[in-house]
Structure 1
Amino acid sequence: MAKFFGNLNLVLVAGLLLAIVVMFGAHAGLVDANAVFRWLHLFFGITWIGLLYYFNFVQIPTMPKIPAELKPGVSKHIAPAALFYFRWAAAFTVLTGLIVAWLAGYVHQALLVQAPYTLIGIGMWLALIMAFNVWFLIWPNQKKALGIVPAEDDAKAKAATTAMMFSRLNTLLSLAMLYCMVNFS
C-alpha cells in the first residue's frame, strides 16, 4: 500500500479512474462533455487557487524566517516545481472554463458581461486577468528572482517584489472571482 501511495502518478490515475466510474455511475452511463469539462475546470481551479494560497499564506511569509543555508531548498527545488503546476493549472482552468461556457452556449454573452450572465462574466474576466498575471508578470519575475534566468542581485530583488505584488493582487481578485463562480446559476 505504501508503494502505491508513494507514487503520485499511480494515485492520480486511480483517482481519475474512480472519478470516471462515479461520473458514469451517477448518470447511468450517460456523461456529457460539459459535465466532464466542468469537473476538469473544478480540478484545475482547485489546483491553481490552492497553489496561489500556498504561496501567499505559507511560502512568502515563511521565507524570511528560514535560515539562509536552507533557502536554496525552497528556491531551487520547491518553488520551481510549485510554479510549474501553478502556471499550468491557471492555463487549464481558463481553458476548461471557456470550454464549459462555449458548450453551454453562453461564452459570448458572459465575456460581454451581458445579463443573465453578468456574474459569471465578471468571474471569467477576473480569472483571465489573474491568468495573465500568472503567465506574463508573476512567472517571468519569479524566473529572475529564483535564478532560473540570469539577473543581477538588484534585478532579482525587484523581480521578487513585483512577483509578490501580482501574486497578492491575484489573491485579492480570487475572492471575488470565487464568489462569481460559485454563485452563478
Structure 2
Amino acid sequence: MTKDSSTSISRRALLGAFAATTLTAAPTFSNAAGFLRGAGDIRRIKMYSGRTGEKLDMIYWIEGEYIKDALKEINFFMRDWRTNGTVSMDARTVDIIAATHNLLDVNEPYMLLSGYRSPATNAMLRSKSRAVAKNSLHMKGQAADLRLGSRSVGQISRAASSCHAGGVGRYSRSNFVHMDCGPVRNWGA
C-alpha cells in the first residue's frame, strides 16, 4: 500500500496546526538554560493581561522552528493596550520569558503588565516616572514587565538572570520584573 502525498499529513504539519491554537495542557520543555541554547522540542508561553482580561497559553516553537501564527498571536497579546498598537515582539524576549517561567517550575501564568509600548505611551509613562527609559526597549518589542502571584520579585529576577540572555530589572515596590533581550545587565532592588 502506498501513501497518497495529497492526503497524507506530516507530523510537523500536524504539530504546527495543533500548536497554533490556544492550549490548556501541553508538554513543557526541559532545562531552561539548555532550552536557550536550542535544546528541547517545544517552547510554550503562558500569560494573562489584567488590563484586557485576555489569556494566552501557547506553544510557539516546535522542533527548532518558530510557529509564525503563534508569534502573531503573541504580538497581538503583548500590544500596547492604551493605543492598540502592535509590533513584532522579538522572539528572544519571548524565549527569555518562557525559559524563566520554566525555571520557576510554576503552572501559574504570568501577569503581563507591559509588553510593546508606543512612543506616545512611553512618553506619557516617562512624564509620570523617572524609572521609564527614554529609549525603552518596550518601544522596539524587546521587553516585558511581568509578575507572578506565587513567586517574589527576587525569585523571578534570579531565574531570569540565570538565563544570561538580556536585561533584568527588579521593581520590588511595584511588584514586577522587567525582562528584555538587550545587553546582559541587572538593576533595581
Q: Same fold by TM-score, threshold 0.5 exceeded?
A: no
> What is the TM-score normalised by the length of structure 2?
0.23
* Structure with more helix by fraction: 1
> What is the TM-score normalised by the length of structure 1?
0.24
* Structure with more strand by fraction: 2
Rg larger in structure? 1
Q: Which structure is richer in relative contact order (CA contacts within 8 A, separation 6 or more)?
A: 1
